[in-house]
A and B are shown apart, each in its own frame.
Chain A
Amino acid sequence: MVLSYEFPDSKGKYGGFGGRYVPETLIGALNELEAEYNKALQDEGFLQELDEYLTEFVGRETPLYHAKNLSDHIGGAKIYLKREDLNHTGAHKINNTVGQGLLAKRMGKKKIIAETGAGQHGVATATICANLGLECIIFMGKEDVRRQELNVFRMELLGAEVVSVDAGRGTLKDAVNATLRHWVANVDDTHYILGSVLGPHPFPQIVRDFQSVIGSETREQVMEKEGRLPDSVVACIGGGSNAMGMFYPFIEDEGVDLIGVESAGKGLDTDEYAASISKGRVGVLHGAKMHLLQDDAGQIQEAYSVSAGLDYPGIGPEHSHLHTTGRVNYVSRNDMEALAAFELLSRKEGIIPALESAHAVAEAIEAAKGRRSDEVVVICLSGRGDKDVSEVKRLLRGGENE
């Protein structure tokens, strides 16, 4: 049976999720963005320029690497790594910022704003803005500015202005609020490069589409290497952009198990996690209806994860939809499991994964166990772990294991 998947619908909905829950001031800009984006997709010149950037600037295509040592160590299925860690700036984030940067240029918007948590999306945005000569302001929670000093300097080096957000608790969701507020006030000449499959329509679609180069390449590469589609594809999820980009080209392939891995933080039985599907309820934040961590009164809660890139209290609306339909299986892995996977992959393959990606590795290890050696499991290795090394040192050597 061929399952035909056509989301979002004309209203930007993924089943009951998504939509446009934003102040009226932004509706015109979202309509313009949607129209321009649809035009760009029909424009050979735009697609060619995007392709050139992905090849020459980002360094695509990225390898689909057979992790033989890891596979042998586990003694189960054959494990492949989609090496998004080898992209320019060290993660999948740049796939989206390059696409949206070119889109902004095409729309004649000379100013770019973006939110960032740990700084990965901020750096990827500042990078393309430097290259395209676009003015760039990055909003970052006060706490994150303190914790990610080096990434702040990196963005400034690339010519971006980094605005420290004091409002709320000074974390990622507050940075998104500040970016939305700035956009409301400067919507005429400014484009907002949202960093994940979140926010009002058409952002979840645009980010998914620009990230789906991950899954499209993987599909071709695995066909070439194995002559068939993989049995399982595993990706980590904060907002969910690397996962959505990886899953989307496989969605109609019913034989492929798609597994999304949220962060269970210190454990789902504690109050500190980032697992919106497991522990959240449907709500509305930052322009979209989705699963959200919230208290009894509908106030949004802070998410926690050892990896800063996963600690967002929601999950992209398309993931909420795919969870509801059962097409994707959403699970969670905790801090300790991610750290163990971080170490194991480093030792066995000489590849230090981002702590975010280590959650996917942890799940894939379990998924591969007890499987036949001709079964194939693909992990989306969304980023490299250089940024996490000092934190991991503190956690492993500092004797702190919380």
Chain B
Amino acid sequence: MSKAQIDQVFEKLKESGDKAFISYIMAGDGGLDGLKHQIKTLEAAGVDIIELGIPFSDPVADGPVIQQAGIRALDAGVSLRKILDELKKIKDDINVPIVLMTYINPVLNIGYQAFAEDARNSGVSGVILPDVPFEEEDEISTHLGDNDIALVRLVTLTSDEGRIRELCEGAEGFLYAVTVKGTTGGRTSFGEDTYELLRKIKGIADVPVCAGFGVSNREMAEALGDHCDGVIVGSKIVEMLHQGEAEGIKNLIPEKSSAVK
């Protein structure tokens, strides 16, 4: 797989007039053996892209739910290396693009070039690096590019217009619009500034724009979807998987106009 796979997902959705639903899960929460089953469950529920979190000891962008999931994964002995190995084994059974969301240190530890090659061989389409802003991405972006992996950038409520233009220039895969000032985790609603941000980015970007952080129900997903090309749900799904409520995940996903699953 490659970054083209992400583009294909959005092209298809555009044709049918639908929005992407992206699910975050913490790799190895519940053991790496369960990863394939989790991914297949999400595919069956109608998820379009899976953002696969890599556990890290110091996750500064994450709220309590994902922090806890990361600790469970680390306690189970999960590492970036093991996750890539597992993905390599199961990649032929996966139909949706996989985007890794990882803090930079575990990647630096493997080495950028080796990581990019391994990720490609494991079928990874994109990478999100929450602690690598635009200023620092040069050191890894060429390695990812050479291996056909998209580096997905984040845009936030504190990014002014000049900054948004900078981030849109050369963006790959999609732009990840962070809907709140703060860490990941459920909110009950978004302010007008969130919709304003999405409109601003949509006006500038020529890649799809997806909104995430704090989305915890279908209504919120629908409300955000009206202003962009897709939504990302993390903590809520992580919690549901942990509580054994996977069957409820499909209820989070806004209905598609095409073949409803």
Q: Chain B 19-46, CB within 8 Å of chain A: the 1/0 string?
A: 0000000000000000000000000000
B:39-94 near A, CB below 8 Å: 56-61, 63-64, 67, 71, 74, 79-81
Is residue A28 within 8 Å, beta carbon to beta carbon, of the partner chain?
Answer: yes
For B78, give the chain A residue with the smallest CB separation: A297
Contact across chains for A185 and B181 when beta carbons are under 8 A apart: yes
Contact across chains for A284 and B182 when beta carbons are under 8 A apart: no
Contact across chains for B108 and A25 when beta carbons are under 8 A apart: no
Contact across chains for B106 and A20 when beta carbons are under 8 A apart: no
Contact across chains for B106 and A297 when beta carbons are under 8 A apart: yes
* Interface size, B (range): 35 or more
For B64, give the chain A residue with the smallest CB separation: A167
**Selected contact of B109 from candidates A24, A26, A28, A297, CB within 8 Å:** A297
Contact across chains for B158 and A27 when beta carbons are under 8 A apart: yes
**Selected contact of B105 from candidates A20, A22, A23, A283, CB within 8 Å:** A283
Q: Which residues of A contact B105 (CB under 8 A)?
A: 283-285, 292, 294, 298, 300
Number of A-B contacts (CB under 8 A): 120
**Selected contact of A21 from candidates B71, B74, B131, B158, CB within 8 Å:** B131
A282, A299, A300: most-surrounded residue (chain B CB, <10 A) = A299
Q: Which residues of A contact B60 (CB under 8 A)?
A: 22-23, 177, 180-181, 184, 286
CB distance from A325 to the nearest CB of B (A): 20
Is residue B192 within 8 Å, beta carbon to beta carbon, of the partner chain?
Answer: no
C-alpha spacing A292/B174, complex, angstroms: 33
Contact across chains for B104 and A284 when beta carbons are under 8 A apart: yes
Is residue B224 within 8 Å, beta carbon to beta carbon, of the partner chain?
Answer: no
C-alpha spacing A299/B55, complex, angstroms: 9
Contact across chains for A300 and B136 when beta carbons are under 8 A apart: no
Is residue B135 within 8 Å, beta carbon to beta carbon, of the partner chain?
Answer: yes
Q: Which residues of B contact A173 (CB under 8 A)?
A: 58
Is residue A19 within 8 Å, beta carbon to beta carbon, of the partner chain?
Answer: yes
Contact across chains for A23 and B131 when beta carbons are under 8 A apart: yes
Is residue B246 within 8 Å, beta carbon to beta carbon, of the partner chain?
Answer: no
Is residue A107 within 8 Å, beta carbon to beta carbon, of the partner chain?
Answer: no
Contact across chains for A297 and B79 when beta carbons are under 8 A apart: yes
Contact across chains for A25 and B181 when beta carbons are under 8 A apart: yes
Is residue B171 within 8 Å, beta carbon to beta carbon, of the partner chain?
Answer: no
Q: Which residues of A contact B180 (CB under 8 A)?
A: 185
C-alpha spacing A187/B133, complex, angstroms: 17
A-B contact pairs, 12 of them (CB 8 A): A11-B135, A23-B60, A24-B159, A25-B157, A27-B133, A27-B158, A181-B182, A184-B61, A282-B108, A296-B109, A299-B74, A299-B106
Report which B residues bind A (CB closer than 8 A): 56-61, 63-64, 67, 71, 74, 79-81, 103-110, 130-136, 153-160, 163, 167, 178, 180-183
